[in-house]
Structure 1
Amino acid sequence: MKTALPNRPDWQALLKSGNRIFIGSNAAVPNALIDDLIANSGDLKDIELVQFNALSDSRWVEPQFSDLFKVNALFIGGEKVRQAVAEGRVDYTPCFLSEVPSLFEEDILPLDAAFIMVSPPDKYGYCSLGVAVDVNLAAVKKAKYVVAQINTSMPRTSGHTFIRIDDIAACIEVEQALPELPIYEPDKITERIGQYVAMLVDDGATLQLGVGKIPNAVLYYLQNHKDLGVHSELITDGIIDLIAKGVINNRKKTFHPGKTVASFCLGSKKLYDFVDNNPHVEFYPSDYLNSPANIARNHKMVAINSALEVDLTGQVVADSIGYQFYSGIGGQVDFIRGAAMSPGGKPIIAMPSTAKGGSISRIVPFITEGSGVVTSRGHVHYVVTEFGVASLKGRSIRERALELIRVAHPKFREQLLAKVREHYWVPNYQKNYPRDVPELGPLGFKTMKIDNQSFDLRPLNPADERRLQEFFYSHTKETLFYRYNHYPTQMTREKSCNLVSVDQSHDLALCIVRQQGSASEIQAVGRYYLCADNKSCEAAFVTRESFHGKGMAKQLLAEMILIAKQRGLTRMLAVVRADNRNMLRVFESAHFERQPSQEMGEVNLTLNLDKYQ
């Protein structure tokens, strides 16, 4: 038996001038309902429209409707709304997405009506909010009147998505195709960012992702992961294939296990069909799903968000470009904080290193005047660009600045370091900015297995100053004597800084590190110094005692030889104490040959790189 629908809206009976109305958000904007109000508004004036992100033509913000509507945007979506905010015709109210429902519930923004889009009622009289539960459910619960556009194209989704037809005061039945987003094809830059982010994701992690090229690239590079889960305010087309392949199965989730949970979805018709009557995907309101405490109930929660710029202390600008408000706070802080609180969680900001065709750096010495900090310097653990991963958790201001300079575009690194020095964040002996070693491949590092453990081989960089100092003090007297031919008793911060601040295009300094989350420990260091003839180099290395005899030095030396050959060098030299049998064994296994030495107790070694295979 068909459920009886409410009458069409009598706007003069439902509304008064000066009322406040909420309009449905994201892909569930009831455009036909608003058009009907505009056409039949009569003498109504000064109605405040409160909206979150709206995928719509947003015609109600146009100047010709300024007597009828005053718009208050809780998130700026679309160029028309952005322009209206810039011109002062629309207000912008910054707020966390998790807290938007409280604005209605606590009558900070009391609602006279809520305009929503829903599916037709089922045989029990329940309509579904479909693809956008987010803040819509809170508006429905608090508004004096609920007015609905019933749309046969709206999917019926699972979770907390339902409203009884009896709770709707008036409605219109108008079919409306849901707005679709284009397929964002990653470019080379976003592909590289996706690779780096995917490397931070452990098997069994739970993900939060946004929309755009970077999230799509991340999802592409997660295809070989296992047992991933999803707890995200937004889901897009990218999850469909990973669910079909079993990569996303939510098996290891510790909150809502077995379910992909979200508060809204944006994408293609394929996505909307996918969530329709799908019991494996559940939608919940934003105050529940975006609650940092609930997010943190997922172990290994990985939150991936973007930014417009990041300063060298780690402050994140995400809603404005100078004095121009661009988007909104949304759920970034909710998820960054929730992931930070999660056992094994990782809050990540991922962005290209430059903007405006590479003409400006997104990593900046100080925030652009007028811009606002969305996410504080204390929240973010990782910043990822196409040049690598900057680890910020537990890092001093100096270390943060050097880490972020390392992942900035190379053409901006020198001037960023100069700006840092103006503010005394690095000492005067910090001479060099971080440099890449392109011979290590496109990712700038290599992973390796030694003694059944995973390690990264990468360049030493200025942010390693303290780690190198710790590495020095971990050595026994015997190791120090063999490496330096005497017993050094101190590695000052200045000395350590000089050793890690290497012009990698001239000399070479590599390290092998054990990286566990934000914790990084140097296990071995190898370096060569270019000789005066510019055709030969002198090499040396040292490893942590616990890895002596495990093959670490052998792999490190092999990489140094390979890079020297690629750079066109013809000889590699080494000087080793005659009683340092272990080091001699490593060099000779790499086919170094002994040469006469004028120093007692020392062995000179030479490798002809032209003949080395």
Structure 2
Amino acid sequence: MDYSKKYSEKLISAKEAAAKVKSGDRVELGWAAGVSQAVDKELAKRVDELQDVLIYGGLAFAAPEVLKVDPEGKHFVWNSWHAGGPERKAINAGAGAFYIPLRYSELPKYYREEVEIDVAIVMTTPMDKHGYFNFGLNTSHQMAILEKAKTVIVEVNEAFPYCPGKCESEIHIDNVDYIVEAGSLSPVELPASGYGDVDKKVAEFIVDEIPNGATLQLGIGGMPNAVGALIADSDLKDLGVHSEMYVDSFVDMAKKGKVNGSKKTIDKYRQVYAFAAGSKELYEYLDENPECMAAPVDYTNSAGVVAEIDNFISINNALNVDLWGQVSSESTGLRHISGAGGQLDFALGAYLAKGGKSIICLSSTFTNKQGETVSRILPNFATGSAITVARPNTHMICTEYGIFNVKGRSTWERAEGLINLAHPDFRDELIKNAEEMGIWRRSNKR
């Protein structure tokens, strides 16, 4: 069937698309490397015309124009599902941007049942001969958005990778209201997170926990990158990938022959992910690659789905861990950092899997803006710190001083094990804290 007539009838300019937004509207602007570029610029030009426009998106790696022109949120209010760098800055500045707490696996359901969207702008690949636009790097929750939106606009980017999907990875022209041709806009790249000696030491402990044939989920950051680099140069083999986010480390592992998915108990031979962000090399690797399979996040992050995958190893970063075994990965006190993402999803699912392990990794210390060395292992979190993984759900915690399994451990056993992961300079003080908190025994090592 020839869809060219229908395509031309729905084709409008970015300026015309931005004009569809009215004061008081709720607008979807995109996710990660697929945040709108063309319509965003035109919408920003209308800042003085509009009031109380609530914009939804997340993981913006470059500041959207609507954030730049209205940092105080007098006209546009940015609502983020997970804060990228520019969003973090805006959220902590106040007024112009806010975080929406979530379990990432539930995001499609949030859109379908909890969030009203008036206008949705979603970046896609060009239409194929069957009339479908592919969501490229962001299958995640895009179809849920477009099912709910009153007005659906696709921003066609000729440079957006075509990513084969399991389901909900395309939208047909019949379900699109307007089409904007954005030209060939390079997807925003995620700067590589470097890693140092501490990250490498943590990675060594983690890699020792990974068997041949394991399926991996990696979070974002220096430590997961260090783990990926170590795996790529290791003797591990027959690994699989099932992750919310597809990162450069997976490309490195795959190109060095470590990943083939042959031992996966579901989706065999496929690298499964909800969205991808990273380098140009990563985007080129995913483009039209049938080995890689994009899927909705309520599939990739479902604890029930993850539980079906034997030897599932989940590796994620944290900001702080307290002596109870609680994990904080979203904020330090009232200072917002990122978001919950899928950390709890994978902590739950990995432990349920046969041979599965959920590993939370962090350095034992960090240096603050005053140049002081601060422990990441804390007696209690600062007021306002979000608890991302509650203490019943935590499995393994790893620092450069070792790895500790908190499952089945009482409060005093947890305190002892976690203090052993802290930097030696802070252990005596942490023991005093544990005594004051009533979670230390005289028989404990001092």
The question of 1:143 aligning with 2:149 is answered: yes
Which of these residues, 178, 181, 185, is aligned with residue 173 of structure 1?
Answer: 181
Contact 1:306 1:318 in 2 (8 A): yes
| Within-5 A mapping of 1:125-136 | 125-136=131-142
CA distance in 2 between counterparts of 1:183 and 1:76 reads: 17
Contact 1:58 1:81 in 2 (8 A): no
The question of 1:83 aligning with 2:90 is answered: yes
Which of these residues, 382, 399, 408, is aligned with residue 368 of structure 1?
Answer: 382
Q: Which residue of 1 aligns with 2:316?
A: 305
TM-superposed CA distance for 1:50, in Å, is: 1.2
CA distance in 1 between counterparts of 2:61 and 2:19 reads: 29
The question of 1:158 aligning with 2:164 is answered: yes
Q: Which residue of 1 aligns with 2:34?
A: 28
- Deviations along 1:567-605, one digit per CA (max 9) or x if unpaired, are xxxxxxxxxxxxxxxxxxxxxxxxxxxxxxxxxxxxxxx
- Deviations along 1:173-226, one digit per CA (max 9) or x if unpaired, are 122111112333421110111111111111111110012221121112223112
TM-superposed CA distance for 1:428, in Å, is: 3.3
Matching residue's letter, 2:172: R
**CA RMSD in angstroms, aligned pairs only:** 1.9
Q: Which residue of 2 aligns with 1:348?
A: 359
Q: Which residue of 2 aligns with 1:514?
A: none
| Secondary structure in 1 matching 2:12 | coil
Percent of residue pairs bearing the same amino acid type: 34
TM-superposed CA distance for 1:162, in Å, is: 1.1
Q: So what's the TM-score if we normalise by structure 1?
A: 0.68
Q: Which residue of 1 aligns with 2:392?
A: 378
- Deviations along 1:511-567, one digit per CA (max 9) or x if unpaired, are xxxxxxxxxxxxxxxxxxxxxxxxxxxxxxxxxxxxxxxxxxxxxxxxxxxxxxxxx
Greater relative contact order (Cα < 8 A, sep 6+)? 2
TM-superposed CA distance for 1:413, in Å, is: 1.0
CA distance in 1 between counterparts of 2:252 and 2:59 reads: 27
TM-superposed CA distance for 1:128, in Å, is: 1.0
Q: Which residue of 1 aligns with 2:430?
A: 416
Matching residue's letter, 1:392: V
Which of these residues, 210, 217, 221, is aligned with residue 208 of structure 1?
Answer: 217
Count of residues paired in the alignment: 431
Q: Which residue of 2 aligns with 1:184?
A: 193
| Within-5 A mapping of 1:375-414 | 375-414=389-428
Q: Which residue of 2 aligns with 1:68?
A: 75
CA distance in 2 between counterparts of 1:148 and 1:71 reads: 20
Q: Which residue of 1 aligns with 2:256?
A: 245
TM-superposed CA distance for 1:16, in Å, is: 2.8
Q: Which residue of 2 aligns with 1:498?
A: none
Contact 1:193 1:214 in 2 (8 A): yes
CA distance in 1 between counterparts of 2:90 and 2:45 reads: 24
Change (3 A) 1:12 1:304: closer
| Secondary structure in 2 matching 1:207 | strand
CA distance in 1 between counterparts of 2:338 and 2:141 reads: 17
TM-superposed CA distance for 1:245, in Å, is: 3.0
| Within-5 A mapping of 1:195-594 | 195-222=204-231, 223-356=234-367, 359-430=373-444, 432-433=445-446
Matching residue's letter, 1:44: L
- Deviations along 1:419-442, one digit per CA (max 9) or x if unpaired, are 111122112353x43xxxxxxxxx
TM-superposed CA distance for 1:372, in Å, is: 1.7
Contact 2:123 2:155 in 1 (8 A): yes
Matching residue's letter, 2:104: L
CA distance in 1 between counterparts of 2:45 and 2:278 reads: 30
Gaps spanning 5+ residues in structure 1: where? 434-613
Matching residue's letter, 1:104: Y
CA distance in 1 between counterparts of 2:422 and 2:47 reads: 53
CA distance in 1 between counterparts of 2:21 and 2:90 reads: 28
| Secondary structure in 1 matching 2:211 | coil
| Secondary structure in 2 matching 1:22 | strand
Change (3 A) 1:255 1:67: same
- Deviations along 1:221-273, one digit per CA (max 9) or x if unpaired, are 22311211110001111112321333111111112111000011111111101
CA distance in 1 between counterparts of 2:145 and 2:403 reads: 40
Please say which structure displays the higher CA radius of gyration. 1
Q: Which residue of 2 aligns with 1:8?
A: 12
CA distance in 1 between counterparts of 2:93 and 2:143 reads: 30
TM-superposed CA distance for 1:81, in Å, is: 4.0
Q: Which residue of 1 aligns with 2:107?
A: 100
| Secondary structure in 1 matching 2:34 | coil
TM-superposed CA distance for 1:110, in Å, is: 1.1
TM-superposed CA distance for 1:33, in Å, is: 1.1
- Deviations along 1:117-136, one digit per CA (max 9) or x if unpaired, are 11111122211110111122
Matching residue's letter, 1:172: V
CA distance in 1 between counterparts of 2:69 and 2:41 reads: 15
Contact 1:31 1:56 in 2 (8 A): no
Contact 1:61 1:81 in 2 (8 A): no
The question of 1:116 aligning with 2:122 is answered: yes
Contact 1:208 1:230 in 2 (8 A): yes
The question of 1:193 aligning with 2:202 is answered: yes
TM-superposed CA distance for 1:279, in Å, is: 0.5
Matching residue's letter, 2:265: T
Matching residue's letter, 1:163: I
Range moving further from structure 2, 301-310 or 1-10? 1-10
CA distance in 2 between counterparts of 1:276 and 1:120 reads: 13
CA distance in 2 between counterparts of 1:407 and 1:109 reads: 42
| Secondary structure in 2 matching 1:211 | coil
Contact 1:311 1:367 in 2 (8 A): yes
Change (3 A) 1:369 1:420: same
Range moving further from structure 2, 400-409 or 217-226? 217-226
CA distance in 1 between counterparts of 2:429 and 2:18 reads: 63
| Secondary structure in 1 matching 2:31 | coil
Gaps spanning 5+ residues in structure 2: where? none
Change (3 A) 1:184 1:80: closer
Contact 2:61 2:86 in 1 (8 A): no
TM-superposed CA distance for 1:148, in Å, is: 1.8
